[in-house]
Amino acid sequence: MTLDVMPDVTRDTPRKAAPLLEADGLVRIYETRKGLFGQPVPVRAVNGVSLKVAQGETLGIVGESGSGKSTLGRMLLGVDPSQEGVVRFAGAPLPAAGTPAWRALRAHMQMVHQDPLAALDKRLTIADQIREPLDIHARGNRAERRARVAELMQAVGLRPDQAGRYPHELSGGQRQRVVIARALACGPSLLVCDEPVSALDVSIQAQVVNLLADMQAANGLAMVFISHDLKVVRNLADRVAVMYLGEIVEEGPVEAVFAAPQHPYTQALVSSVPAPGKRLDGRMILKGEPPNPAARPAGCAFHPRCPHAVASCRAEAPALVPTAAGRRAACHLVGGADRLAA
Ligand X SMILES: Nc1ncnc2c1ncn2[C@@H]1O[C@H](COP(=O)(O)OP(=O)(O)OP(=O)(O)O)[C@@H](O)[C@H]1O
Please report how many Cα atoms fall inside a 13 Å half-sphere around the Cα of residue 331, on the Cβ side.
28
Instruction: Please give the Cα distance from 106 to 109 (Å, whole number).
Output: 5
Instruction: Please give the Cα distance from 335 to 331 (Å, whole number).
Output: 8
Name the E strands within 118-259.
Answer: 190-194, 222-226, 239-244, 247-253
- Shortest distance in whole angstroms from residue 71 CB to Mg ion: 8
Q: Which does 30 bind (CB under 5 to 8 A by kind): ligand X, Mg ion, none?
A: ligand X
In the complex, residue closest to Mg ion by CB: 70
Residue of 313, 195, 309, 294 lying closest to 246 (CA atoms): 294
Q: Which does 293 bind (CB under 5 to 8 A by kind): Mg ion, ligand X, none?
A: ligand X
Task: Specify the residue, 187 or 293, whose C-beta has the smaller distance to ligand X.
Answer: 293
Cβ distance 90 to 270 under 8 Å? no
Cβ distance 69 to 61 under 8 Å? yes
Residue ranges that bind ligand X, judged by CB under 6 A: 30, 32, 43, 45, 63, 65-71, 282, 293
Task: Specify the residue, 152 or 223, whose C-beta has the smaller distance to ligand X.
Answer: 223
The letter for the amino acid at 277 is: G
Q: Which does 67 bind (CB under 5 to 8 A by kind): Mg ion, ligand X, none?
A: ligand X
What's the first-to-final CA gap in the chain, in angstroms? Answer: 55
- Shortest distance in whole angstroms from residue 16 CB to Mg ion: 34
Q: Which does 71 bind (CB under 5 to 8 A by kind): ligand X, Mg ion, none?
A: ligand X
- Shortest distance in whole angstroms from residue 196 CB to ligand X: 12
Q: Which does 335 bind (CB under 5 to 8 A by kind): Mg ion, ligand X, none?
A: none
Task: Specify the residue, 70 or 82, whose C-beta has the smaller distance to Mg ion.
Answer: 70
Task: Specify the residue, 139 or 305, whose C-beta has the smaller distance to ligand X.
Answer: 305
Name the E strands within the chain.
Answer: 21-34, 39-53, 58-62, 84-89, 92-93, 109-112, 190-194, 222-226, 239-244, 247-253, 321-324, 327-329
Q: Which does 68 bind (CB under 5 to 8 A by kind): Mg ion, ligand X, none?
A: ligand X
Cβ distance 195 to 116 under 8 Å? no
- Shortest distance in whole angstroms from residue 69 CB to Mg ion: 5
Going residue by residue from 62 to 101, which x/- string records binding to Mg ion, judged by CB under 5 A?
Answer: --------x-------------------------------
Which positions touch Mg ion (CB under 5 A)? 70
